[in-house]
Structure 1
Amino acid sequence: MLRVNDLNIYYGNIHAIKGIDFEVKEGEIVCLIGANGAGKTSTLQSISGLIPIKSGTVFFEDREITKVKPNEITIMGIAQVPEGRRVFTDLSVLDNLKLGSFAVKNPKESDEEILRTIYERFPVLEERKDQRAGTLSGGEQQMLAMGRAMMSRPKLILLDEPSMGLSPLFVDKIFDVIKTFKEIGVTVLLVEQNANLALQISDRAYVLETGKIVKSGSARELANDPSIKAAYLGA
């Protein structure tokens, strides 16, 4: 579904992403793990068209999207849930959700049908649909950001640090929902600093260090790799 070839990203003279290659197959949950500053968020933002790519190519469903505009990438079926949620705090929960479907053309399912799917996974959003998004807790805002992404009917969701700043209870809820995305035909590329959690729910994983992919394999293989355990799993 997604193929990244020889991706290079610069910030001024800083070579942030250094020729990485990876792929995500339809129906998979694939995670990128690594320390702060490894380049995980930059990788996601380049796929979404939010930051320029110096060189390399990105293909989505065999179509090159390297220079496609972000709104067009969304229409094609890629949605990003950004780090820090980025909900519209002065708008209601329902209005935030509806904004997620703004760019959808000729949807197969109505907004009401998609909302029902979202409310089944996040009942609190239905309970608080008329409440201002800024009054929600951090965990509830993360649910809202994920629900807003689902409203665009994505084929692929890019999740950037969904557990950041959340209580353990909300983290468990969020990751339980991520595991169900396969059931509704959504593929996931997950960036997550909590490597333990990411590897538990993923099919495959890539390890990013200072802009380079240094290891890859099945999530189970990496979870049992002594060097990964020492560096990222606290073992």
Structure 2
Amino acid sequence: MSFLKVEDLNVYYGNIHAIKGVSLEVNKGEVVSLIGANGAGKTTTLQAISGLLPIKAGEITFNNNSILKQKAFKRTRLGIAQVPEGRRVFKGISVEDNLTLGGVSVNSTKEEDKIEMDKIYQLFPVLKERRKQEAGTLSGGEQQMLAMGRALMTRPQVLLLDEPSMGLSPLFVDKIFDTIALLKKDKTTILLVEQNANLALEVADRGYVLETGRIVKEGSAESLKSDPDVKAAYLGI
């Protein structure tokens, strides 16, 4: 049974039909990658799932219940957390305050926040070292860690990761994907949008290929990695 299911999703920007009948599903404990070129509609799909964009038609179910009528903050409380493209941390406040805001979004207690924050500091030791620093003073890679940590503070049942490697040095890209691999080992359910198809399929169980708002291929990560069209278009082979 699908944990998160999108059926025949249609999204418009004005008169532009951006998402054209997209259907996908994510099972509990699974990492699913959504790959495609810039402008394919990957981020739009995630934003529709998290409630940041209205949809024209289609259905989104989570735990077998429709969430179409739920506003974005209520979807977060249900267990859907998005790490946005570009990180979007609150730069003028401390690392720790950024993390605390993640807990506030789900009405958690101080005790629950402390337990979760300790887990995040174990996952990202550099955040503990810099917990009193303003978030805007962190490097891009450290801000990405903070954005992931803030989302994890909501105790998500599904984590939506939007372009986590964008703009990062190779060292930080490796660190971020090592963390995704650790989350996968811990059975965290993840829907990953990532332009670097090699990395995305390396960490995923299954994947979908999105082109101009439509799913054109789907399958296991291994089958997509060996698909001649995917290799030519996205893997540089």
TM-score class, shorter-chain normalisation, is over 0.9
Name which of structure 1's ranges 207-216 and 115-124 shifts more when overlaid on structure 2.
115-124
Question: How many residues are treated as equivalent by the alignment?
Answer: 235
SS at match of 1:8: strand
Instruction: Tell me what 1:77 maps to.
Output: 79
Instruction: Tell me what 1:213 maps to.
Output: 215
SS at match of 1:19: strand
Q: Tell me the C-alpha RMSD between the 2 structures.
A: 1.3
Cα deviation 1:183-229 (Å, max 9, x = unaligned)? 44420000000000000000000000000000000001000111100
1:133 and 2:135 correspond: yes
SS at match of 2:154: coil
Instruction: Please report how far the alpha carbon of residue 182 of structure 1 lies from its aligned counterpart in structure 2 after TM superposition.
Output: 3.1
**Distance (whole Å) between structure 1 residues aligned to residue 13 and residue 87 of structure 2:** 24
Instruction: Tell me what 1:21 maps to.
Output: 23
Q: Which of 122, 125, 136 pairs up with 1:123? A: 125
Q: Which amino acid aligns with 1:198?
A: A
Q: Which amino acid aligns with 1:194?
A: N
Q: Which amino acid aligns with 2:114?
A: E
Instruction: Please report how far the alpha carbon of residue 102 of structure 1 lies from its aligned counterpart in structure 2 after TM superposition.
Output: 0.7
Instruction: Tell me what 1:147 maps to.
Output: 149
Q: Is 1:49–1:67's contact at 8 Å kept on the other side of the alignment?
A: no
Instruction: Tell me what 1:91 maps to.
Output: 93
SS at match of 2:104: coil
Q: Which of 193, 217, 224 pairs up with 2:195? A: 193
**Distance (whole Å) between structure 2 residues aligned to residue 137 and residue 113 of structure 1:** 26
TM-score (norm 2): 0.97
User: Which consecutive aligned stretches of 4+ in structure 1 deviate over 6 angstroms post-superposition?
Assistant: none
* Cα gap change, 1:106 to 1:142, in 2 (>3 Å): closer
TM-score (norm 1): 0.97
**Distance (whole Å) between structure 1 residues aligned to residue 123 and residue 162 of structure 2:** 19
**Distance (whole Å) between structure 1 residues aligned to residue 117 and residue 108 of structure 2:** 17
Q: Which runs of 5+ in 1 are unaligned?
A: none
Name which of structure 1's ranges 62-71 and 130-139 shifts more when overlaid on structure 2.
62-71
**Distance (whole Å) between structure 1 residues aligned to residue 184 and residue 163 of structure 2:** 19
Q: Which of 178, 181, 184 pairs up with 2:180? A: 178
